[in-house]
Structure 1
Amino acid sequence: MDVCRDSYGVFANLSVFNIWTCSLCYVYLFPNGPLRFNYNVSNPGLIKVENIISGNIHIETTSDVCESLGGYDCERWRDCCQAADTCCTRQRSISPDSRLGHCPRTWDGWSCFDDTSPGKCVRLSCPSYVQYGSLKGHVEKECTENGSWALHPETGKEWTDYSKCVNIKGFKGVVYASVGASVFSLVFLLPATLILMAYRQLRSQQRIRLHVCLFMSFILTGLLSLLWELLVYNDRVENPWKQTFMFRKEVSCKVIYILLRYATSANFFWMFCEGFYLFRLLVHAFQVPRSIKQYFVIGWVGPALPIAIYSTFRSIYANDICWVKNAGGFEWIVYTPNLLSILVNLLFLLGILRILLSQLHQHPNEPSNYRQGFKRALKATFVLIPLFGLQLFLVIYRPSNDSAFGNMYEIVSKVIIDSQGGIIALVFCYMNKEVLSCLKTSIHKLNTRRGKRVPSLITNYTVVSQRNNDNEAKCDVTNGDRSPNVSIALKSMRTNWNGAS
């Protein structure tokens, strides 16, 4: 048998078959790619290629095709072409089945099938070049009783079931984990931001203003993450390709993607600002910064620079659908400053612990001071880890999607990353004694104005409130007059760490 067959029923010799199947590999793998292959089933040797971006139709080698793809996608396409070539060689080397009524050997566009008896279902391993596919799954192709391959109910063409190559439940599990973690963060972040901004005593402090900016960056990330997961990611899993949001609204999809990348980078930059501010207070305990304008520039303008550079290169060299695919080396334009932020914060934490532990050596013969210093260092470790983003080191290594932990990693990483804002809000707002004191004062005044008895929960703190009558005026939302000047860094840190006590 000197010719090879594909699922269209096309029979061609090896040279024509290679060109024909490679064009179909491109069409199947990259349905929205920049190249358009105009082919005719009746004449598979006549294929016209057009680049819809530049109008270039001079495609002569595989390198010309790869120029329209990234390195990873080029390898996927080459692997598909090689698999088709191997299939054709196999078809030509095996003697034809002398039995009548069997399903003919064929290349279905991604996989190779031999002659098959009627009523039999053939199972093969999933090919490596299927996007989001898993090598642990399998494809199925059914040979009907009349000796013909099963047809797709909508297209009426020979059909192979590749649904088991993609773990739909696993992808949905990732969506649910991300949505749940994002909602958790937003539920705590939104009220926390309003609380910190409502009280003059709180919002006048530099560290609180940094907290508010960090909270706002996490709120922006949470909202955009919800929009991305529900409108883009989940939509792609549930609907056919041409009915998805990313296909119909490509420009809007790219805008959401870039905004999400900016918000995520802003998280890292603001975590760096928090670490730098706290470390500076410890090193220069009696030199409180007069202004923190430079922190606002770093936190909000800083991430815009790498995102702008990334977007420019991406639009020129990797302008695929919605930019959801990995852009290879261009991704390090965004990854590098983010990674440096948490690495520097790790050094800040080590420096803070060194300063705190050094206090233990000042009173080696006083057990109470030793225990207090050790407790303070331990508290700093647990409290500052989420604030500095150091828990992200737990998911910094991404295992292969085909490994046993591939899907579990995706779920765990979504929970760790998307719930960080909520955890920070819990520690630095709802568990902060200074914030709780302001809230209790407001509740006390509200009940006093209504002529009602203060609830027992507030009564328990009456003694504390009476000892600090000035605090009642400072925590008034409308009548606060001035805020304390933090002159000693350890006092400021102790106020922050009260949330962990």
Structure 2
Amino acid sequence: MRWVGFAQKVFISFLLLVVICFYENRALPNTANQSYCLSDAYNTSKMCSVRGSLLSQSIWNHYTGFFCYNYTNDARFNKKLKYNLNFSFNCKGYTLKLPVAIVNESTIAMYDYGDSESVNLLKNSFKTEKMFDNYLKCCRDAEYCCANSMNDENLALSTTYCPVVWDAWSCFPRTPVNTVAALPCSSQAYQSPDKVCTLESKKECIWNGTLALWNQQTNYTACAIAPVYLRRYNYHVVALIVCIAWSLPAIIIFLSIPTFRETTRVILHRNLLIAIVVRNILTITSRKTIIIDALLSPSLSNHLMEKNTVLCRILSFFGSAATSSTYACMLVDGYYLHKMIVRTFAKEPQVINLYIVVAVLTFLPSLIWATIVGVNERTSCWTVDSHGEQWAVDSFRVIILLINTFLLLDIIRVMISKMKQGGTTRQTKAAFRATLFLIPLFGLHIFITAKKVVINDTCVAEDIYDYFRYTMEASQGVFVALLFCYANTEVHNELKNAFRKLSIHLNQRYGWNIGPKTKSRRRTTTATYVQSRDSRSDF
């Protein structure tokens, strides 16, 4: 029986707790002159300054919460709630006027972030949790500014200093007249809820002929993050275009000369360049049609990224697959080079098997990633990784880079050993010299920029990092084309041979002389230009 009595007491206590919580957190009805009193937790005699007006600390959170909410970028809301700036309440016979949000015809919400029920109602109007958290941070910063940065001394008007003020987003300190105070931009000032780098807002303390007063309008124009993004992305696009322009002639050369179309090592170099070009084209398309389009959109919401269409998600998928294909080609190319130098007498791998490996490593990681983001119904055309799902493809890429690191180190080990023994041919030495510059081929340069490391959070520091990262990404195709095509002796000889054959053909058929003049009277034939085996070098 004692257990029954104890259970009844627990059940009754639980019901009382639920009733109390419901009573304390109930939504306020949209009815004027209802009973509502301010919290006793604040000092009613303490005054704080918001936008040049002094308010009691007891009503501070209501008004600063109103400013934080209504000055929030409209693009962060599902539907921004309307407001009544002077809603009347009755507190023990006295009329109290406070700003409130109109949730609907029957419900209002207080802007005081300490009111849990009102906070939940306001939260529902934001698009994401992150955007709502930025609003709460603004409210907390305002409360901290009043409680810790304002007192009777620094709020007093004077002829030499502007007083401390909360401008609706930032807490500007006491500042000498005719100077400009600068503060890191509030998270509310950014179009994106995520801070990219530290920008500064500015507020001018001016002399009005009698007192030192703040310019009512704070300059937040420098907080626009879109120009920062645009500079970086436009540079990225230009760098990728240069890489494409540099790589295409090498691809054409590899496809045009019959010998190169039948040589496995050249086929692998060619495929890597093709993968790089395709990746660059898809990256440029994504940058221009999705990301840059969103940055330039005047409405902040009517753009492709916001619409999250099927086509833009397909573009993101193939962009991810194209990036994975470059890693797959780097792995296969590195494996074959390792086989040539370290395992010289190993069986020649079949090209079809190498193609299968590339195809699997190209699409499998991206399919896994696309499945994860699709099931979780991610938005922004899958271009923004807010939940760490990018590791579905990055893990494969890191493994490939680690394998290539091992292969390169093993190549260097074997080559050093052979040179010490004096058992190296001219071709082997040439290959080893090229190996020292094979970082772009093996993709190891990506390790340098894999982790975002900046000396501080200024935009200049992040600009340096991003420009360097984009340059390294674009340089891969440039170096591969340079090492294995433009600076390669065998390519030079094949091109010279092809040009001589063309010269002979045009001379014999049309009588044109497009080649260099020679004093020799020997009749020119194709056999005249056959190269000796020793004149050819390896890739």
Q: TM-score, structure 1 length as denominator?
A: 0.71
Task: Give the structure, 1 or 2, with the largest relative contact order (CA under 8 Å, sep 6 or more).
Answer: 1
Percent identity over the alignment is 22
**Distance across 1 between alignment mates of 2:142 and 2:377:** 26
Q: State yes or no: 1:270 paired with 2:329.
A: yes
Q: How does 1:140-219 map to 2 (within 5 A)?
A: 140=203, 159-165=217-223, 171-219=229-277
Residue 120 of structure 2 corresponds to which residue in structure 1?
Answer: 60
SS for the counterpart of 1:184 is: helix
Residue 413 of structure 1 corresponds to which residue in structure 2?
Answer: 469
Q: CA 1:402 to 1:354, structure 2 compared with 1: closer, same or farther past 3 Å?
A: same
Residue 453 of structure 1 corresponds to which residue in structure 2?
Answer: 513
**Distance across 2 between alignment mates of 1:176 and 1:422:** 19
Q: CA 1:432 to 1:324, structure 2 compared with 1: closer, same or farther past 3 Å?
A: same
1:88, distance to aligned residue in structure 2 (A): 4.5
Q: CA 1:388 to 1:91, structure 2 compared with 1: closer, same or farther past 3 Å?
A: closer
Q: State yes or no: 1:438 paired with 2:494.
A: yes
Which of 189, 192, 202 in structure 2 is aligned with 1:139?
Answer: 202
**Distance across 2 between alignment mates of 1:329 and 1:94:** 48
SS for the counterpart of 2:81 is: strand
Residue 481 of structure 2 corresponds to which residue in structure 1?
Answer: 425
Contact 1:120 1:143 in 2 (8 A): yes
Residue 53 of structure 1 corresponds to which residue in structure 2?
Answer: none
Larger strand proportion, structure 1 or 2? 2
Q: CA 1:285 to 1:408, structure 2 compared with 1: closer, same or farther past 3 Å?
A: same
Contact 2:64 2:168 in 1 (8 A): no
Q: What is the root-mean-square deviation of aligned Cα atoms in Å? A: 4.7
Q: How many residues align?
A: 449
Residue 408 of structure 2 corresponds to which residue in structure 1?
Answer: 349
Q: CA 1:314 to 1:48, structure 2 compared with 1: closer, same or farther past 3 Å?
A: farther
1:126, distance to aligned residue in structure 2 (A): 1.2
Which of 391, 395, 398 in structure 2 is aligned with 1:339?
Answer: 398
Which of 441, 444, 461 in structure 2 is aligned with 1:387?
Answer: 441
Residue 16 of structure 1 corresponds to which residue in structure 2?
Answer: 62
Q: CA 1:116 to 1:173, structure 2 compared with 1: closer, same or farther past 3 Å?
A: closer
Q: State yes or no: 1:327 paired with 2:386.
A: yes
Q: TM-score, structure 2 length as denominator?
A: 0.67
SS for the counterpart of 2:101 is: strand
Q: How does 1:21-420 map to 2 (within 5 A)?
A: 23-24=69-70, 27-28=72-73, 31-33=74-76, 35-42=78-85, 44-46=99-101, 48=103, 60=120, 68-69=128-129, 76=134, 78-89=136-147, 94=152, 97=156, 107-113=166-172, 122-127=180-185, 129=187, 130=190, 131-132=194-195, 134-135=197-198, 137-140=200-203, 159-165=217-223, 171-235=229-293, 240=298, 242=300, 245-246=303-304, 250-251=308-309, 253-289=312-348, 291-315=350-374, 319-363=378-422, 375-376=429-430, 378-400=432-454, 402-403=457-458, 405-420=461-476
**Distance across 2 between alignment mates of 1:325 and 1:85:** 32
**Distance across 2 between alignment mates of 1:6 and 1:320:** 37
Contact 2:272 2:330 in 1 (8 A): yes
Q: CA 1:237 to 1:65, structure 2 compared with 1: closer, same or farther past 3 Å?
A: closer
Contact 1:140 1:160 in 2 (8 A): yes
**Distance across 1 between alignment mates of 2:228 and 2:181:** 22
**Distance across 2 between alignment mates of 1:414 and 1:36:** 38
**For each residue in 1:371-406, what CA deviation from the matched residue of structure 2 results, as whole angstroms up to 9, or x when unmatched?**
969944641433422211122233334223625632
**Distance across 1 between alignment mates of 2:207 and 2:288:** 39
Contact 2:180 2:203 in 1 (8 A): yes
Opposite residue 486 of structure 2, the aligned amino acid is Y
Residue 538 of structure 2 corresponds to which residue in structure 1?
Answer: 495
